[in-house]
A and B are shown apart, each in its own frame.
Chain A
């Protein structure tokens, strides 16, 4: 029985000026698409800056006007728990950027490992935030306090921290989506803008917490 022998010839690169022009346009289009996508995410983050900065601004004005209320709350705050939570979020941001580094080195498994850690840390952050809320509620620091020493604090504190917590939850879901896409082979060292734009969001959430941590808990 004779065997069929197939001889595969390597694809010949079309080196005509027209083909070269098309290839060049393709590369330029890819860059343009990535830059546009990133710009869109930055504009979205700009709108987020306005929302968060307004809530922080409201708290600052309250801190200036009623410093004794804020100091009374600080005496009842579990600073160790909040510091631990801050470290968790900083570590998750590091895990995020290390995952991006892995995909740039064409290592999808590395990205999945780092992003898995990042999502886990995000979930623990939200869980500990819930524990903190419970502790504050037991101390009598509720969303609306009237007539006690914490009067006016609750809404100005819970609004930015809860809004931030929701952003962490959305970030974890987005992170899981990126992990799923990576498992399907959608990202490599030539195409990782989807990972990059998620990174912008996650680091922004981290930056917001860095500011919130100092403004709400330390000063």
Chain B
């Protein structure tokens, strides 16, 4: 979230919420010699490769679909969190994303329990 801090000279001072130019990428407790954006990009690429390999090797099953959905959600979360700056921006923006998603998920769950041939 963008903050406005009190300052002795001007009374107010704008604080840049994205002052992460030199922030290094940390993942599973380790810090890597790349900036956070490049690190996220590498993780996205590796996760995509894992997804494709898994989908081509294993037969479709409930477990496989669950794993794929978790990986896709993880990737989407990384983009939203780091590239769209929701880790530092106003959390109201997160609600803009989540509320419609939750509504549609509920609608799909409702649709999927309606029998294809109707209630007879």
Chain A residues in the interface with B (C-beta under 8 A)? 20-21, 23-25, 27-28, 30-31, 34-35, 38-39, 42-43, 45-47, 49-50, 53-54, 56-57, 60-61, 64-65, 67, 71, 79, 83, 86-87, 90-91, 93-94, 96-98, 100-101, 104-105, 196, 199-200, 203-204, 206-207, 210-211, 213-215, 217-219
Contacts and interface: CB of A to CB of B under 8 A. Distances in A.
A208 to B, nearest CB: 9
B41 A90 contact: yes
Interface in B24-62: 35, 37-38, 40-41, 44-45, 48, 51-52, 55-56, 60
B72 A53 contact: no
A60 B113 CA distance: 12
Given A90-B41, A207-B76, A27 B12 contact: yes
Q: Which of A21, A45, A46, A217 has the most CB of B within 10 A?
A: A46
Interface in B1-35: 2, 4, 9-14, 16, 18-19, 21, 35
B100 A27 contact: no
Most interface-central of B12, B80, B116 (chain A CB within 10 A): B12
Contacts of B96: 42-43, 45-46, 49
3 closest Cβ pairs, A-B complex: A24-B11, A53-B104, A214-B72
Interface in B61-84: 64-65, 68-69, 71-72, 75-76, 79-80, 82-84
Contacts of B18: 100, 104, 196
A24 B10 contact: yes
B95 to A, nearest CB: 9
A110 to B, nearest CB: 12
A-side interface mostly:
helix
B51 A27 contact: no
A30 B14 contact: yes
A87 B4 contact: no
Nearest to A67: B60
A65 B111 CA distance: 11
Given A49-B100, A54-B107, A219-B68, 9 more contacts: A27-B14, A42-B93, A43-B96, A90-B41, A90-B44, A90-B45, A97-B83, A210-B75, A214-B71
B83 A199 contact: yes
Contacts of B11: 20-21, 23-24
A83 B52 contact: yes
A219 B65 contact: yes
Contact of B108 (A24, A57, A86, A94): A57
B65 to A, nearest CB: 5
A207 B97 CA distance: 11
Nearest to A35: B2
Given A203-B79, A203-B80, A219-B68, A57 B111 contact: yes
Given A23-B10, A71-B60, A215 B93 contact: no
Contact of B35 (A38, A45, A101, A213): A101
Contacts of B92: 39, 42
